[in-house]
Chain A
């Protein structure tokens, strides 16, 4: 009887806490996903057996902030993929309201800019919701810890969307450098001005 009551309470508790879920906070275990990339292939984080972690970026085609960061996202992948932290780009936007962000246009953009990282389509927007992505671009840096993926940093790429050269605080680079060095991350959460994720109506 005791076991039954305990299990019941555990299930209710779990359900309530997942209903109240507004997105991940630093320290949370994050879920893996299976999303379509521009070649039509399904991609999951578990495909990357050698990776130590991931620089997950919710981004899109149309948003000027996302466009301003495209080259910096490409540079992050060039720098950190071989060190064990590849970029995984995910488009969370509703293509019906924003056709510039539809699958065909994702393919065009990825080819034009020669993305060497996956550009995945979160068509149902469930991954964006679960992670708590609220704008583009929005970064989630996760690290493998045993069987888990733990969120280590979330927020902006740096402190200057308008001018890459003038960026002083390079939040994502500092965070990944710290993880690679086994040191604590100084700034684990930042805010940025951005285009809100375009949720389906």
Chain B
């Protein structure tokens, strides 16, 4: 059975759309070191950077991600930027990207791989014991707040952000 050019194009288009819908992300998460992390979040502008430390396998982290995703939507007209900093192993960069895609999370994300945690934890926040989840707020180039532990609900996260908007 011979297909016309138009029919062939239609078939190709359908197959293409089907493939892109079912294919998982092929671009792994970016991996940043501490200098790159600081350059990203310590920017001298009035944007409030809401930086969450999480990992795909961390149950309390994963449970609060929808709150961060919701903030990204609610505040999309305001200078608020959500950044999800994964503590997954570098070898899992692709899985991290696939996790974000599967859950349709739109926030910016990357893996922070900064060497010896005993050195870099204190460089981010000396009060931080190193457990995840943890959330930092940055504005005008400096850290303005930090919380270790999860947010029990969306309101708790909104209250945390509001105080620094």
Chain A: residues with CB nearer than 8 A to chain B?
Answer: 64, 98, 134-135, 155-156, 159-162, 168-169, 171, 190-196
Query: With A64-B57, A193-B87, A195-B58 in contact, is A156–B118 under 8 Å at CB?
Result: yes
A60 to chain B, nearest CB (A): 13
Q: Which residues of B contact A64 (CB under 8 A)?
A: 55, 57, 89
Asked if B19 lies at the interface with its beta carbon under 8 angstroms from chain A, I say: no
Query: With A155-B118, A192-B117, A193-B121 in contact, is A162–B90 under 8 Å at CB?
Result: yes
Contact across chains for A156 and B117 when beta carbons are under 8 A apart: yes
Q: Which residues of A contact B58 (CB under 8 A)?
A: 195
B131 to chain A, nearest CB (A): 4
Q: Which residues of A contact B101 (CB under 8 A)?
A: none
Interface membership of chain B positions 129-158, coded 1 if the CB is closer than 8 angstroms to chain A and 0 otherwise: 111100000000000000001000000000
Asked if B108 lies at the interface with its beta carbon under 8 angstroms from chain A, I say: no
Q: Which of B87-119 contact A (CB under 8 A)?
A: 87, 89-91, 115-119
Contact across chains for A191 and B122 when beta carbons are under 8 A apart: yes
- Complex Cα–Cα for A191 and B127 (A): 11
Q: Which residues of A contact B119 (CB under 8 A)?
A: 159
Query: With A134-B131, A195-B58 in contact, is A190–B90 under 8 Å at CB?
Result: no
Contact across chains for B117 and A191 when beta carbons are under 8 A apart: yes
Contact across chains for B130 and A191 when beta carbons are under 8 A apart: yes
Contact across chains for A193 and B89 when beta carbons are under 8 A apart: no
Contact check: which of B59, B60, B91, B149 meets A162 at CB < 8 Å? B91
- Complex Cα–Cα for A159 and B117 (A): 7
With both beta carbons as reference points, the residue of chain B lying nearest to A68 in the complex is identified as B89
14 examples of A-B residue contacts, CB within 8 angstroms: A64-B57, A64-B89, A134-B129, A135-B131, A159-B115, A159-B119, A160-B116, A162-B91, A191-B118, A191-B121, A192-B121, A193-B87, A193-B121, A193-B132
B154 to chain A, nearest CB (A): 19
Q: Which residues of B contact A155 (CB under 8 A)?
A: 118
B52 to chain A, nearest CB (A): 14
- Complex Cα–Cα for A37 and B55 (A): 31
Contact across chains for B116 and A193 when beta carbons are under 8 A apart: no
